[in-house]
Structure 1
Amino acid sequence: MQAAITDQLELAKITPYKVADGYPSEEYKEIIPYKIKRYSEYHCENEWEGIIIHNESQTIMGDMGFRVRHEIEDELELGYSIAPDFQGFGFATEMAQAIVGWGLKQPGIIKIVANCDASNMASVRVLEKAGLKQVKENNNKIHWTT
């Protein structure tokens, strides 16, 4: 994660993969320091976060993972990002379906939640296809749950 903050070249140096243009996004780079801090406090979250590799091209194309939601230990909050060149091909949907299913099988977990901007129709479709249902909308954010 520290390498991802620095730049794509640094990330590519420490992995056997190419790094997609636009990964990580500027928005994701802003939250990485927060995530690094969380991982030191909530060690279990290290197991719930990962990069998404495009198998054919061996390219890091995104990331996906969970965090404990507001310290409610029976719920996980889903988050993800996909590099622009890999959007629109169903990769986020495939990963979201898999990780939601996996998350619900974790001991003590009864619910997966997420949120997205109301205008982000791609994320709306991903979350719907992953089996989440809209529970409310406020401040241009849609809140989802399993």
Structure 2
Amino acid sequence: MKRSRLSFVEIGKNGEPIKAVQHLGETAKEVCQQTAALYRSAGSFAPWLGYLVLENEIVVGTCAFRSPPRNREVEIAYFTFPDFEGQGLATEMARQLIEIAQATVPGIRIFAFTLPEKNASNRILQKLGFGFAGETRDEDDRVVWRWELTPA
């Protein structure tokens, strides 16, 4: 496994990082609270959690498994904070989530949703081996594109 420049800090069920994080901005605090709400609705247990992502102890984004696996598949999500976009961080976040999922449940199907348009997130998923699986609707009835990674 390639050594990452990023570190993940688990977001606890109370909506707080499980270890001290310096300079936790408002966006990161909001993400932590949203993650706690997601845990309440979808359930959570390690490693199927949400994480703050740090580079050199600076919070640069967030990533998550949206819920524990169901039917041997799991959804990943990732977000780079605007000041840190364009540096390959989202690609590395997604790569690490994939590695965690595959190490925990060999043969798991990993999927992600994106907006229904060509964008950076599509390119990240394609770079990591995901294929376009079609258009669908998310839990809020919005049209999204589904991407799937064939199990290793």
**TM-score, length basis structure 2:** 0.68
Q: 2:52 aligns to what?
A: 51
Write the distance in 2 (CA, Å) between the matches of 1:145 and 1:86: 26
Larger helix percent: 1
Q: Is the 8 A contact 2:77 2:94 kept in 1?
A: no
Q: Is the 8 A contact 1:135 1:143 kept in 2?
A: yes
Write the distance in 2 (CA, Å) between the matches of 1:42 and 1:52: 18
Amino acid at match of 2:61: G
Percent identity over the alignment? 22
Please list the CA deviations of residues 48-95 of structure 1 after superposition, one character each: whole Å capped at 9, or x if unmatched.
43111022xx211111121347x6241110011111001111100012
Structure 1: which 5+ residue stretches go unaligned?
5-10
Query: Alpha carbons of 1:134 and 1:106: their partners in 2 closer, same or farther (altered >3 Å)?
Result: same
Query: Alpha carbons of 1:108 and 1:100: their partners in 2 closer, same or farther (altered >3 Å)?
Result: closer
Q: 1:113 aligns to what?
A: 111
- Deviation, 1:143, is 0.3
Structure 2: which 5+ residue stretches go unaligned?
1-10, 137-141
Q: 2:95 aligns to what?
A: 97
Write the distance in 1 (CA, Å) between the matches of 2:15 and 2:67: 24
Amino acid at match of 1:52: V
**TM-score, length basis structure 1:** 0.70
Query: What is the CA RMSD across the aligned residues, in angstroms?
Result: 3.0
Write the distance in 2 (CA, Å) between the matches of 1:23 and 1:145: 28
SS at match of 2:73: strand
